[in-house]
Structure 1
Amino acid sequence: MEKITFNAMREFIIENELTDSVSITLHPDNFDELVLDYLDFNDNQIERPFEILGIEILQDNSGDIPKSKIHIMENAQ
């Protein structure tokens, strides 16, 4: 995905039929961009944990996720 925006992430979640059994992890730069875009759509309010359509969005702190890539991770049951 070239630019990870709020609308693009919503479409990605819907197109891939993701459920709350997964989380999405993003490169820190993409995470920050997405949060700022999300704040614009939600009158500067953000929920914790950060979720879009019930899918938790996390920031990669390990350096494993490349920029502009979306990593889907199964949640522990």
Structure 2
Amino acid sequence: MEKITLDAMRNFILENELTDSVAITLHPDSFDDLVMDYLDTNGNQIERPFEILGIEILQDTTGSVPQNKVNVLDAVE
């Protein structure tokens, strides 16, 4: 993705037919951009945990996810 936006993330989730059995991690800058886009769209309200279409969106804390890339994790143990 060129830039992680709310619309781009929704499209990614739908196109890849993701379910709540996965979570998405994003580079901290991409995560911040997405959160700001989400807040602008939803009147400065955000749910915890942060989800889009039922998929939890997490900030990468390992330094392994490049900016503007999406990492899909298996969330079911």
1:3 counterpart residue number: 3
Which stretches in structure 1 are left out of the alignment for 5+ residues?
none
Q: Do residues 75 (structure 1) and 60 (structure 2) align? A: no
CA RMSD of aligned residues (A): 0.6
Report the CA distance between 1:76 and its aligned residue.
2.9
Q: Do residues 59 (structure 1) and 44 (structure 2) align? A: no
Secondary structure in 1 aligned to 2:36?
Answer: helix
Which stretches in structure 2 are left out of the alignment for 5+ residues?
none
Residue correspondence of structure 1 range 29-48 to structure 2 within 5 A: 29-48=29-48
- Which amino acid in the other structure matches residue 53 of structure 1? L
What TM-score do the two structures reach when normalised by structure 1? Answer: 0.97
- Which amino acid in the other structure matches residue 51 of structure 1? E
For these two proteins, the number of residue pairs brought into alignment is 77
